[in-house]
Structure 1
Amino acid sequence: MRQKLLESFRFALEATHPYRLTRQALPQTPPTHVLALGKAAFPMLKAVSDAYGSVPGLGITRYGHLEPSVRLPGVELLEAGHPVPNEGSLRAGERVLEFVGRLSPTDHLLVLISGGGSALVSAPWGISSEEKQALSRALLASGADIQEVNAVRKHLSRLKGGRLAAATQARITSLLLSDVPGDDPSVIASGPTVPDPSTFAQALEVLERYGIESPAREHLERGARGELPESPKPGDPVFERVENRLIGAARHLLEAARSYWEGLGYRVLVLSDRFVGEARELARFHAAMVQSIREAGQPVPPPVVLLSGGEAGVRVRGSGKGGRNQEFLLWLACFLGEGGVWAVACDSDGIDGNTEAAGAVIHPKLLSGSRRLKAKQHLANNDAYGFFKAHDSLVISGPTQNNLNDYRVIVVE
């Protein structure tokens, strides 16, 4: 069963590969320029290069996500930090502003956006780069969801929240790969070419809600008082020359997984592609679903494969290593105890949390004997990685060039 779980992950990733999704969605007329931001920037740019030949372009992606042996004529490629912006992110931000700022109204800019763009391209506004890095770490550790995190990011940036569109005169076509639950274009990579419905006041509320102290408060307070210009809102004339198109999302990843498991003869139930919340509470829900299926045949009788996606959160209290998918799985195993299941949970980009693992696999006997107590000790230190590594349960895929959020499969025999 472990092999089937891993094969399903690979199958879904291949079916939704950014190259494939981008190639299918490209405009018929070649653009004059191309800009790619995010973890999937390289395969999206390769699709453009294979379709049109040499197009002047700029691509920014995460370290380790390039293919050094593949050349993209006419494209400048930069690498930067994720999930916390670094010096590479700052250089990328300035280069993007320079690149789009020299385009004219007769130019057609194709923008390829995928998850990770918020950290990879940084153009701070109102705070220093060091202060922005510290704030990014605090937000990631707070348990805030991606909508809340990006509301803050968009009001501390010269690029996010539609400001990239406002920074150029070119006509823009944006192709978006979603890594956010609900697929709101204004949240994907903080919506650089999308109208921003959030406000300075809402960004300030996020800091207050999670008790985050930062020099950014002064900037956000000024904006909330109307002393600074808001991000471009829906209806702003700048978006009359912008088309934003969603070309891939978590639901496509789960539909690919459905076809894999149905091909093996399993009944499949897709629970949702947009789960959010604490990994622990999502695990509790999934465990209750497993128990209901086993004991009452509700909502469907076993055997059945449960699929779900979205983005769990983790409020970090310990000093261990892990990620939201590993934490979800270990809590799931704890809630089910001796009545465990086969399951896999991975981040589709191949990197879960602060580890080199994409996620992990659990099996029905994982927490037999005294292991349940040990698992809870690891969870108390946010160290699911340490537990799974000790039990040879990690999934190591390396960077996948994909980024359509979390991938969870539970097999209820």
Structure 2
Amino acid sequence: MRELLIASFRQALEQTHPARLTAQHLPEEVPALIVSVGKAAMSMLEAARERFPQVPFIAVPKAEAGRDWPQAEHGQILPARHPVPDEQSVRAAQIILQAVSRLQASDLLLLLVSGGGSALLCAPWGIDLPTKQALTQALLRSGAEIQEINAVRKHVSALKGGRLAAATPARIRALYLSDVPGDDLSAIASGPTVPDETTFALALAVLDKYGLDFPEVRAHLEQGAKGVLPESPKPGEALFQRVENRLIGSNQVLLEAAQRFWQAQGYPAVILSDRFQGEARELARFHANLVQSIRAHGQPFRPPVVLLSGGEASVTVRGSGQGGRNQEFLGWLGFYLGKEGVWALAADSDGIDGNTPAAGAILAPDTWHKAQGLGLDLKALLHDNNAHGFFQALGDLLITGETAHNLNDFRALVVE
């Protein structure tokens, strides 16, 4: 069963590869410039360059330790850091803003966007980079949902929240791969070409909700809330008449590919939802309750059945462990099910779960017994946000390396 779980994840990734999805939505018209940003930047760019080999491009992928991106003819590759922006993120944003501002109204800009773009393109507005870095880290550790995080990001950026579209006179076709529950384009990489419905006042409310005290940020946001600073472009503004935003891939597409895999293996497979959000611990409790109901009553599904789910859990970090939201989900799932156990895999489709080197992990029916034999205190490790250490000790981490993919989280539970 372990091999089947891993195969279902890998096949789902293969069938929804960003290059394949991008190729289906490229324009007939030759663009004047291609810009590709995000964790899937290079795989999306691959499809665009195959169709338009002579068109100049700028790509901003996630920097990888020990990897040097070769400079290609006709373009620039500018790797930057994620999830916390760095000086290269600022440099990449400046180069792109300058390049798109030089385009003409008759030109077409092809923009390829995947998750991670919020950090990879950083154009601080009203604050400096160190403050932006500290703010990003605090937001990520706060347990805030991605929409809340992006509401703040959009109002301290000269590029996010539709501001990139405002920075160029060109026509734009933007292709988006979704890594957010509900596929809200304005939340993917903070929606650089998408109308923004959030406000300075909402960004301030997010800081208040999570008790984040950043005087420089607050001063900037308060100026905006008073009308001293211009708001981000809103729905209905004329500039969006020359912008076409397309969703080309999503978590739902990833889960459907996994569903086809399991059905081919003879297992009924049900997609619970592609929109799960909230604390990984509570999400695990829901899945554990569902497993127990299926086993006890055959409700709402009769076993055997494969439960598939996606979305993006969050973790409020209180301990010192490495964590990883998918590993934390599985740890709590194992805790709630106890000796009953279940076969399950949870992983981030980009191959990196939180700040760990693992994509996720695998839970087995005997995980509880193995942990007891090794003297592992699962509850204590979870309270220290150290699910990574737990699965590492068991040898049950899922290591894929970065996948050049980014369609959010993947969870599969096999209830036999």
- Pairwise TM-score range, normalised by the shorter structure: over 0.9
How much does 1:68 deviate?
6.4
Which amino acid is 2:385 matched to? N
SS in structure 2 opposite 1:322? coil
User: Is 1:394 aligned to 2:397, yes or no?
Assistant: yes
SS in structure 2 opposite 1:47? helix
User: Is 1:344 aligned to 2:345, yes or no?
Assistant: yes
Residue 270 of structure 2: aligned partner: 269
Residue 33 of structure 2: aligned partner: 33
Which amino acid is 2:379 matched to? K
User: Separation in 2 of the partners of 1:217 and 1:70?
Assistant: 41
Residue 200 of structure 1: aligned partner: 200
Q: 1:379 aligned to 382, 406, 411, which one?
A: 382
Runs of 5+ unmatched residues, structure 2: none
Which amino acid is 1:365 matched to? D
How much does 1:52 deviate?
2.0
Q: 1:102-251 to 2 correspondence within 5 Å? A: 102-214=102-214, 215-251=216-252
Conserved? CA contact 1:42–1:66, under 8 Å: no
1:209-256 residue CA offsets vs partner (Å, 9 max, x unmatched):
000011201111111111110000001111010000000000000000
User: Is 1:332 aligned to 2:324, yes or no?
Assistant: no
1:102-146 residue CA offsets vs partner (Å, 9 max, x unmatched):
111111000000000000000000111000000000000000000
Which amino acid is 2:106 matched to? T
User: Is 1:44 aligned to 2:47, yes or no?
Assistant: no
How much does 1:12 deviate?
0.4
- Report the TM-score, using the length of structure 2 for normalisation: 0.97
| Corresponding residue pairs, total | 413
SS in structure 2 opposite 1:7? helix
Judged with a 3 Å threshold, the aligned counterparts in structure 2 of structure 1 residues 397 and 181 are, in CA distance, closer, same or farther, namely: same
**In terms of mean alpha carbon deviation, does 25-34 or 354-363 score higher?**
25-34
How much does 1:90 deviate?
1.0
How much does 1:99 deviate?
1.2
Which amino acid is 1:389 matched to? Q
Q: 1:408 aligned to 400, 411, 414, which one?
A: 411
Conserved? CA contact 1:55–1:73, under 8 Å: no
Which amino acid is 1:50 matched to? E
Conserved? CA contact 2:279–2:314, under 8 Å: yes
Which amino acid is 1:190 matched to? S
Judged with a 3 Å threshold, the aligned counterparts in structure 2 of structure 1 residues 227 and 87 are, in CA distance, closer, same or farther, namely: same
**In terms of mean alpha carbon deviation, does 37-46 or 372-381 score higher?**
372-381
Runs of 5+ unmatched residues, structure 1: none
Conserved? CA contact 2:376–2:390, under 8 Å: no
Residue identity (%): 59
User: Separation in 2 of the partners of 1:294 and 1:66?
Assistant: 47
**In terms of mean alpha carbon deviation, does 22-31 or 3-12 score higher?**
22-31
SS in structure 1 opposite 2:361? strand
- Report the TM-score, using the length of structure 1 for normalisation: 0.98
User: Separation in 2 of the partners of 1:254 and 1:370?
Assistant: 33
Residue 7 of structure 1: aligned partner: 7
Conserved? CA contact 2:177–2:250, under 8 Å: yes
User: Separation in 1 of the partners of 2:225 and 2:58?
Assistant: 34
Conserved? CA contact 1:49–1:72, under 8 Å: no
Conserved? CA contact 1:54–1:72, under 8 Å: no
Judged with a 3 Å threshold, the aligned counterparts in structure 2 of structure 1 residues 67 and 10 are, in CA distance, closer, same or farther, namely: farther
Residue 91 of structure 1: aligned partner: 91
User: Separation in 2 of the partners of 1:179 and 1:29?
Assistant: 28
Residue 292 of structure 1: aligned partner: 293
Which amino acid is 1:153 matched to? R
SS in structure 2 opposite 1:192? coil
How much does 1:73 deviate?
3.4
How much does 1:72 deviate?
4.7
How much does 1:70 deviate?
7.7
Judged with a 3 Å threshold, the aligned counterparts in structure 2 of structure 1 residues 9 and 272 are, in CA distance, closer, same or farther, namely: same
SS in structure 1 opposite 2:61? strand
SS in structure 2 opposite 1:42? helix
Which amino acid is 2:115 matched to? G
User: Separation in 2 of the partners of 1:77 and 1:176?
Assistant: 19
**In terms of mean alpha carbon deviation, does 213-222 or 190-199 score higher?**
213-222
SS in structure 2 opposite 1:273? strand
SS in structure 1 opposite 2:96? helix
User: Separation in 1 of the partners of 2:234 and 2:376?
Assistant: 51
SS in structure 2 opposite 1:58? strand
